Chains A and B, each alone.
Chain A
C-alpha cells in the first residue's frame, strides 16, 4: 500500500536529450491546471547529450519551495539513472523502468514500464515523453481528458496527425498507469478545493524577468553564461512588447560598460551574468560607483572558482558582490528566495539603484532560477515607479554637492544643461581634479548615502515565533523554502528562522532580532560568507554554520537533521 496524502516526490532521470524537460513541463502544466501545488527543480550536467540529468516534481497540499531527499517514484529513462540516484532510493521507492533497456542491470523489484515500446507502437520513439507523462497521469488518477485537451492545445500548430498520435501515446501510457496504480494500491491527495484559479506556474527566471519588466527595465546587455542567461533570454522574448533594448555583448566587460552608458543616457539598465562573468565586470562596478550612475547587476550563482561546475548551484558569490570594484563607495545586494521575492527584488533593485545612484546586485542561483513552482497572483506586487531623472538647466552640475550626497540626475538631451561624467576624480561639474580637498569632499559625498541606504534595507522574514525561540536559524537567498520546511518538519518551539532577502547593507533594526539567542547560519557555500558578514556587522557570534558546497542545493531532510543535531 502506498499512501501519499500530503506529499509525493517523483523524480525523472535520464540522459540529456531524452526529453526530461518535456515530460516535466507537460506534467507540471497538467497538475497545475488540475489544482495541485507543485514544486519542481532540476539538476543537469554540463553537456548537450548523454550523461544523467534529473528533474524532481513534488505534488503537495501546501506550497513548497525545496526538494526532498526521499524519492517516492523514480522514472528511470536510462540505466545510469539508478546508479546516479542510489543514495536516494529506499525500499519504498517505486522504480519505473523499461526492462529491455536495462539488460543485466535489471532488478526484479522494478516495475517494467513500456515507455519506448508504446511509443514505437504509436509510430515513433519520439512519443516516449508523452507515454511517460501519460503513465504518471494514470497513476495519479487525473482525468484523461485533461491530458488529451492539453495535448490538443500544445500541438495544434503541428497539425492533426501530431495531435492524434500524441493522444494515442498518452492513452496507452495512461491505461498502463491506471493498472499499475490499482495493482500497487496508490492513493493520492485530491487537489486543493480552490483549484488553480488565481495561481500561476513559473520558474525563477520568469519571475526575475517579470520583476524587471514591472520596474520599467528597458535595456539589457549581457554575455551568455549559465545560469545568468535566462534573464537575457526572457527579456529578449518580451523586448518587442515592452520596448526593451537587448544587446548581446562581445564580453562581460562590454556588457556592463554598455549598461552604464545606457544608464547615463537615462535607460533603466540591467546586466546578467554568473560569478565567472562577473569577475570581468568588476571594473564596471567601480565605474558606476565613481559616476554615481545606477546599474542593476544580476548574478546567477554557480560553483566556482573559475569555471567550477557550470550547471550546478551554489551561494558562493556574496563576497564577490560585496567587495567587487576598488575604492570606497555604496552598493546594495538583494537575494530573493521565492517567486514573490524574485519579482519584488528586481523592482526593489531598480528603485534603490535609481534613488541612490549606485550599483545594485541581485544574487540568485541555478537552483532558484530553474525551479518551477506556483505563485498566488494576488501576491505579485508592483512597486510604484520612481525616476530620479530631472530636466537640467543651463549651468547644471552632475555632481553638485547636496545635504544627502545625492545630486539631481540629468541625462544628455533633456534640458539645457550639460551632463559631464568622468571616471577620474572630478569636481561638481565632472571636470578632472587633483585637489585634495575636492577629493575628500567627493569621497564623503559618495559615502554619505550609506546611512539612508542601510535604513531602507529590507528586514528579514521571520519564520515561526522569535519570542519563544532560543535558537535562530538564519538563511539568505534561495534557502528560504528549505529552511521553512525543515523548521516545520522539526516542529520545535525553541527554534525560529530568519530569512534575509537583502544581505547588504543590513538594516540597523535587525539587532534586537539576534540578541539573547543562539545563532545558526545555513548557506550553500563552503565557508559561511553571510555568517561572516552578519558577525562583522552586528558584533554577534555565529554559533554554528550549516554549509554545503557540493554543487547541489540543500534537501529538506539534511537541513532538518543538521538543525536537530545542534539542538539535541
Chain B
C-alpha cells in the first residue's frame, strides 16, 4: 500500500485503533490525498462521523472534527453546515452507522440536499461489535447472531439515494486507492449532497467479502455510461452480477437546502442579538 504524505496526516505517534490490514487504512489514504490535492483549507474543513470503527476516521485526520453519536453524523453535519456554510463538511462513517442506526437521517439528508459529502465505509458487517450482520450484509452470510445465515434483503444505498434524487452518487472500492481518491475528489467538489459508498474489506469479521472477493465481483462502469441518465443509473444499481464502481449519477443545479431556507454567508457565531430598536419593534406588535 502506497502512502503519500499529505497536509492532513496526524503525528506518527497517533494510536490507530484499526486492525492490521483493514480496508479503512486505504480509504483513509484516499480521503487525505483527495483533500490534499483539492487544496482544501484545513481551517475550514470539518470531518463528521458517528460511531463505529469507520467513524473513528476523523480521529486520524488532521482537521476540525465532530465525532458524535451512533447514527447521528448526518444531523450533526446538518447543524454544522447551517451554522457556517463556508465550512467544507465531510461525513465519514460505516454502513451500520449510516444505513442502520442512521437510516432515517440518510433519507432526510438526501431530501434536504445540503452541500456536504458523505463517504460510507461499507464492509457489509458490524466489526466493532464482533461480526453481526449489517444492513448491507449479503444474504446467506452466517454470523454469531444470524446463525442460519442473513435472511434479509441487503439495503441498497445507491438505489435508495437514486430514488430520493440525490444529485451525486458514486461507488468505490478502497482496494483501488487511486480511483477511490478521484471519486472522492469529484464528490467533495460537487455542489450539493454527494454520496460515495466505498467497499472496504473487514479482514477479521467478514470472511465472505474479502479483498479477493471485491476484486472478482466489481467492475468499473463503462465510459459509455451517461451519468446524467437516472433511469440507467437505477438499472445499474439494481442489476445482478458484478457490482459496478464509479459515478452512477450526477445532476448539477439542484437547489441547496442552505439557499432554500435562506442561510446567509455570515457564520452564526458572528451574529449578535438584535439591536434595541429591532427588539422594540418586535415588542410593539403586541401593544
In this complex, how many residues of chain B approach chain A with their Cβ under 8 Å: the count is 55
In the assembled complex, A20 has its CB within 8 A of some CB on chain B = no
Contacts A214-B279, A258-B78, A419-B64 given: A385-B262 contact, CB under 8 Å? no
B268 touches A430 (CB 8 A): no
Tally inter-chain residue pairs, CB-CB below 8 A. 190
Contacts of A242 in B (CB 8 A): 274, 278
Are the CB atoms of A413 and B43 closer together than 8 Å? yes
Asked whether A254 lies within 8 Å of B105 as measured between CB atoms, the reply is yes
Given A250-B108, A416-B43, residue A261 in contact with residue B66 (CB < 8 A)? yes
From A245, A287, A385, contact of B268 by CB (8 A): A245
Contact call A258/B75, Cβ cutoff below 8 A: yes
Q: Is the CB of B67 within 8 A of A424?
A: yes
Interface-centre pick from A245, A377, A421 (highest chain B CB count, 10 A)? A245
Contact A412/B272 with A200-B287, A242-B278, A257-B76 known, Cβ cut-off 8 Å: no
A557 within 8 A of B: no
Q: Which of A126-134, A216-224, A463-471 contacts B (4 or more CB under 8 A)?
A: A216-224
The answer, yes or no, to whether B156 is at the interface (CB within 8 Å) is no
A154 to B58, CA, bound (A): 57
> B267 touches which one: A206, A213, A266, A420 (CB < 8 A)?
A266
Whether, in the assembled complex, A201 has its beta carbon less than 8 Å from a beta carbon of chain B, the answer is yes
Q: Is B160 an interface residue (CB 8 A)?
A: no
A413 touches B68 (CB 8 A): no
Interfacial residues of chain A within 410-459, with CB under 8 A of chain B in the complex = 411-414, 416, 418-424, 430-432
A206: chain B residues within 8 A (beta carbon): 286
In the assembled complex, how far is the CB of residue B247 from the closest CB belonging to chain A, in whole angstroms? 27
Complex-state Cα separation, A389 to B43, whole angstroms: 16
**With the chains together, A380 CA to B279 CA distance in Å?**
11
**Binding stretch for chain A, among B19-27, B80-88, B92-100, B143-151:** B80-88
Q: State in angstroms the CA–CA spacing of A210 and B282 once bound together.
A: 8
Q: Does B90 contact A (CB under 8 A)?
A: no
Find out whether the CB atom of A422 lies under 8 angstroms from the CB atom of B67. yes
Question: Nearest Cβ in chain A — how far from B178, in angstroms?
Answer: 28
Q: How far is the CA of A385 from the CA of B273 in the complex (A)?
A: 7
CB contacts under 8 Å to A, within B187-231, are: none
Most buried by B among A239, A251, A413, A414: A413
State A418–B87 Cα separation when bound (angstroms). Answer: 13
Interface string of A261-279 (1 = CB under 8 A from B): 1111111110000000000
- The answer to whether the Cβ of B40 comes within 8 Å of any Cβ in the partner chain is no
User: Does A190 reach chain B (CB closer than 8 Å)?
Assistant: no
**Does any Cβ of A come within 8 Å of B182's Cβ?**
no
Known A-B contacts A261-B83, A264-B66, A413-B44; A210 and B283 likewise in contact (beta carbons under 8 Å): yes
B186 at the interface (CB under 8 A from A): no
Give the interface centre of A382, A412, A430 by most chain B CB atoms within 10 Å: A412
Q: Once the chains bind, are B282 and A420 in contact (CB under 8 Å)?
A: no
Which of chain B's residues 5-47 have a Cβ closer than 8 Å to chain A? 14, 17, 42-44, 46
Question: Quick check: is B264 within 8 A (CB to CB) of the other chain?
Answer: yes
Residues of A within 8 A of B274 (CB): 213-214, 216, 242
One digit per residue, 1 when the CB lies within 8 angstroms of any chain B CB and 0 when it does not, for chain A 227-258 equals 00000000000111111011101110111011
B238 at the interface (CB under 8 A from A): no
Q: Which residues of A contact B117 (CB under 8 A)?
A: none
A267, A418, A424: the one contacting B79 at CB < 8 Å is A267
Q: Which residue of A lies closest to B111 (CB)?
A: A250
User: CA–CA, A65 to B83, complex, Å?
Assistant: 38
B164: shortest Cβ distance to chain A, in Å? 12
> Closest residue to A411 on the B side, CB-wise?
B269
Q: Which residues of A contact B86 (CB under 8 A)?
A: 413
Q: Is the CB of A265 within 8 A of B75?
A: no
Most A Cβ at <10 Å: residue of B44, B82, B267, B278:
B82
> What is the minimal beta-carbon distance from A140 to any residue of chain B, in angstroms?
21
A213 lies within 8 A of B282 (CB): yes
A283 on the B face (CB < 8 A)? yes
Q: How far is the CA of A416 from the CA of B256 in the complex (A)?
A: 29
Distance in Å: Cβ of B240 to nearest Cβ of chain A: 32
Find the residue from B261, B263, B271 having the highest chain A CB count within 10 A.
B271
Question: What is the minimal beta-carbon distance from B163 to any residue of chain A, in angstroms?
Answer: 16
Please tell me if the beta carbons of A266 and B269 are within 8 angstroms of each other in the complex: yes
CA distance A239 to B267 in the complex (A): 15
Q: Which residues of B in the span 130-172 have a Cβ within 8 Å of any Cβ on A?
A: none
Let me know if A559 is at the binding interface, CB within 8 A.
Answer: no
Residue of A nearest to B82 (CB): A245
A21-35 contacts to B, CB under 8 A, are none
Which A residues lie within 8 Å of B107 (CB)?
A: 250
Chain B residues 51 to 66 lying within 8 A of chain A, measured CB to CB, are 51, 56, 58-59, 62-66
- A249 to B, closest residue via Cβ: B75
| Most interface-central of B108, B264, B273, B283 (chain A CB within 10 A) | B273
Does A202 interact with chain B (Cβ within 8 Å)? Answer: yes
Distance of A372 Cα from B56 Cα, bound (Å)? 50
Q: B287–A196 contact, CB under 8 A?
A: yes
Indicate if A14 sits at the interface (CB-CB under 8 A): no
| Chain B residue with the shortest CB-CB distance to A418 | B64
Q: Cβ of A481 < 8 Å from any Cβ of B?
A: no
Give bound CA distance, A197 to B87, whole Å.
48
Given A257-B76, A258-B75, A214:B68 Cβ within 8 A:
no
Contact B278 A262 (CB under 8 A): no
A497 at the interface (CB under 8 A from B): no
B237 / chain A contacts, CB cutoff of 8 Å = none
Contact at B279–A213, with CB atoms within 8 Å? yes
Chain A residues with CB under 8 Å of B267's CB are: 265-266, 411, 413-414
Minimum CB–CB distance for B72 against chain A, Å: 4
Cα A247 to Cα B78 in complex, Å, equals: 9
18 chain-A/chain-B pairs, Cβ below 8 angstroms = A219-B83, A247-B78, A257-B69, A261-B78, A264-B79, A267-B79, A268-B268, A283-B72, A412-B46, A412-B80, A414-B267, A418-B62, A418-B64, A420-B58, A421-B67, A423-B67, A423-B68, A430-B65
- Which residues of B are in contact with A by a Cβ distance under 8 Å? 14, 17, 42-44, 46, 48, 51, 56, 58-59, 62-69, 72, 74-80, 82-84, 86-87, 104-105, 107-108, 261-264, 267-274, 276, 278-279, 282-283, 286-287
* 3 residue pairs, one from A and one from B, having the closest CB atoms: A266-B269, A261-B79, A265-B83
Known: A262-B82, A421-B67. 19 other contacts (CB 8 A): A214-B273, A219-B82, A241-B282, A254-B78, A258-B75, A258-B79, A258-B82, A261-B77, A264-B66, A264-B83, A266-B270, A268-B268, A283-B69, A413-B43, A413-B86, A420-B58, A421-B65, A423-B68, A432-B56
